[in-house]
Chain A
């Protein structure tokens, strides 16, 4: 009897303590803190710049060329200089005092730049951990800036591969190209107090309003896709001069080869061709009053690019209907904008200008032999049989020879707040 009671009590005690231990164990697991890493213990990389290293160093040669920003490298040469813009999350005493380049801790973002040289980007990156106190985090990389010298030297493929392959990199990271030094863009301090990596990527988001910014098909996912399809890669161009940063125009690549830059006008024309512009300002000079500009502000467009095959000949038709507003008329006092005939005249003028712009872009791309606006995709979709025949020589033979028939209709719906 006694023994029996003892056994039940023990069992009860046993079960209780087991339950308690279980609860403790579960709470240990579920609190999720066992592998925590505080924000300030991470080094967020905001932007990456890839330059050509100043001097090539052969394999096995020492660190004499660039001092500490290098390492002994068994293979390859000192070909690239990789720079990171890192967000400084810990306000320190030195940053409180206002030395140039550093920012106060209130609101403004403080960043600094580290760099190293080598050939494999992954190797350079891991070697750079010898320069920082915390691990580098790439999940928030906003921008990758490439200098023109690098792509002229080795193309896009070797420098872009790592960013495509590593799982920490995001697909929507923006890629930019500059004709000067890429690192200086990371060191640049925008007047608004943002970090330049974020600043630049946000500029690209203005592409809807500013047709001079390529902005479309220029981030990592599009670049990777275009690479795999062996088609063109478009990279927005950024320039820094005397404390002024500016994005406009773009660089064209085919198969990783740098082809050249196109200006803002061709960029805008290219957007008209693809029908991806959200808004645009189209300026014409008033025929009656030379020197006075008229600006049409595009609100809405309907663009159709269609391939046609006439026996051996391939030609495209482009139908653009644009509706918008009269945005500026510098000779507005001298015209009666309430008169529909005047407005029709303006519509015709703008239509001619759009046509001119589209053809300017089209001929630029034909001359560079770059199908920047995906004419091939249209052919593949509408005329798959013809595409099979021409696809091997599309860029160098077929595309430069096709003709484009442009028809533009412009409707001015409104004349602004004031006649």
Chain B
């Protein structure tokens, strides 16, 4: 009896070992093809359903497939990681690009398995770059649906819009020899220090939220010219339709309204010597955007308190004494004026010209502070919003003048 029990226990232990080792479905890293970046372009030429692959002008017949429905509308390119180390390889690239044409993203991705020796893994996707030509033809939600729906793709994937072709970004090798997709995504992580980059609330997760809530998403704009990549400015959307671009100055204003800036550089000409510039470096701020309802009138107040440093003073520093509180007060007022101007510029561009409530900042405040009024106006929010006045008051406190007077 004892022997039997022991035998049973032993065999059970062995059986458990097999289960708990967890190796039965292992998949080695080098057996996976990690997709790091995705680019969505227009296919060079439209093609009607039923046309055989290879008969389409401008589309390489190995980069397409026979498609029963839809047109050869998009060109989807994927940047894949080379996992094999190659110290001596001639071009030193760590990634390569494959692409395909079609209409459904998922169908193109699956057909691309005919070009790749390993199955594709999207869990480490860093960035999706969409070319403007695509957005002029279709809405954002159409091209993003697959990426939002699929469970392999993370919400923190960065989204960029470019005015040219998106594929060259995937082929671009950064001068630092980083992996292209990681490099592109990491640029936008510096948004806390670079006020020109709209990095907060613009990734895939937030964008899908805005699309669902009928808010207006904005996406950072990325450009590539002569081997230089630059992120700055935004592409502005009305619901999911592309409206246009706003420049870096408007981005700065927008971030100040929403209070999403962590640090900022505000530059003005010196009050006494306009030939030279003086720079305020923002350390922390207290921003309050609040809606007010007065009868039928809705208006917003924006109170900004900014605390920071004098970052740079190009004026002859013998002429001015930065230890003089009077002079600092003068600068504080001048900076406050400039911040006000920035905010109004953003308001002018986004609210008046484009009539876009970027990332739903105003709508969100309205819903939170005045839920009853929001219920009434939410259906005509677009028209209401365009007429809402914004009252801005800015206080700037210069706490320090740097390590040298």
Contacts and interface: CB of A to CB of B under 8 A. Distances in A.
A264 B61 CA distance: 12
B98 interface: yes
B115 to A, nearest CB: 5
Interface of B is mostly: loop
Interface string A86-106: 000000000010101001111
B239 to A, nearest CB: 8
A270 to B, nearest CB: 13
B228 interface: no
Contacts of B104: 281, 283, 293-295, 328, 330
Nearest to A296: B106
B70 A418 contact: no
A357 B68 CA distance: 8
Interface residues of B, number: 55
Nearest to B137: A291
Interface stretch (A209-217, A301-309, A367-375): A209-217
A245 interface: yes
Interface string B66-81: 1111110000000010
Interface string B140-171: 01110110111100000000000000000000
Given A283-B68, A285-B69, A104 B84 contact: no
Contact of A281 (B33, B110, B138): B110
A203 interface: yes
Interface string B106-121: 1100110111111100
A56 B107 CA distance: 44
B195 to A, nearest CB: 31
Interface stretch (A43-51, A234-242, A315-323): A234-242
A206 B61 CA distance: 20
A33 B61 CA distance: 52
Given A202-B117, A247-B114, A265 B66 contact: yes
A107 interface: yes
Interface in B36-61: 52-53, 60-61
Contacts of B70: 283, 285, 291, 293
Contacts of B113: 203, 206, 209-210, 213
Interface stretch (A13-21, A57-65, A193-201, A389-397): A193-201
A229 interface: no
B65 A327 contact: no
Given A209-B119, A333-B141, A244 B151 contact: no
Contacts, number: 189
A210 B110 contact: yes
Nearest to A267: B66
Interface in B210-237: 211-212
B16 interface: no
Contacts of B139: 333
Given A283-B104, A332-B141, A417-B148, A241 B61 contact: yes
A263 interface: yes
A297 to B, nearest CB: 7
Contacts of B86: 103-104, 106-108, 193
Nearest to A292: B142
Contacts of B146: 295, 327-328
Contacts of B274: none
Interface of A: 96, 98, 100, 103-108, 190-194, 198-200, 202-203, 206, 209-213, 239-242, 244-249, 263-265, 279-281, 283-285, 291-295, 297, 326-333, 353, 356-357, 360, 415-419
B184 interface: no
B117 A418 contact: no
B203 interface: no
A279 B119 CA distance: 13
Interface of A is mostly: mixed
A416 B89 contact: no
Contacts of A293: 69-70, 103-104, 107
A295 B90 CA distance: 41
Contact of A283 (B88, B107, B150): B107
Given A210-B114, A212-B65, A242 B60 contact: yes
Given A104-B87, A360-B68, 6 more contacts: A105-B88, A198-B117, A245-B115, A281-B110, A293-B69, A328-B106
A418 B98 CA distance: 27
**Nearest 8 A/B pairs, CB to CB:** A104-B88, A416-B149, A191-B96, A202-B117, A246-B62, A98-B90, A210-B113, A263-B66
B115 A246 contact: yes
A107 B61 contact: no
Contact of B151 (A108, A332, A417): A417
A262 B98 CA distance: 24
B150 A416 contact: yes
Interface of B: 33, 52-53, 60-63, 65-71, 80, 82, 84-90, 96-98, 103-107, 110-111, 113-119, 138-139, 141-143, 145-146, 148-151, 208, 211-212, 240
Given A98-B88, A212-B65, A244-B98, A417 B149 contact: yes
Contacts of B114: 203, 206, 210, 212-213, 246-248
A239 B53 CA distance: 12
Contacts of A249: 66
A281 B66 contact: no
A360 B150 CA distance: 29
A284 B212 CA distance: 23
16 contacts: A108-B84, A213-B114, A241-B61, A242-B62, A245-B62, A248-B111, A263-B53, A264-B111, A265-B67, A295-B104, A295-B106, A328-B150, A330-B138, A330-B141, A330-B143, A419-B212
B115 A244 contact: yes
Contacts of A417: 148-151
Contacts of A248: 65, 111, 114
A328 B105 CA distance: 8
A209 B104 CA distance: 16
B69 A284 contact: yes
A200 B142 CA distance: 33
Contacts of A263: 52-53, 65-66
A275 to B, nearest CB: 19
Contact of B85 (A107, A211, A247, A353): A107
A79 to B, nearest CB: 28
A93 B178 CA distance: 28
A192 B110 contact: no
Contacts of A416: 148-151
B60 A241 contact: yes
Of B61, B86, B114, which is in contact with the most chain A CB atoms at under 10 Å from its CB? B114
Nearest to A97: B88
Contacts of B148: 332, 416-418
A281 B109 CA distance: 10
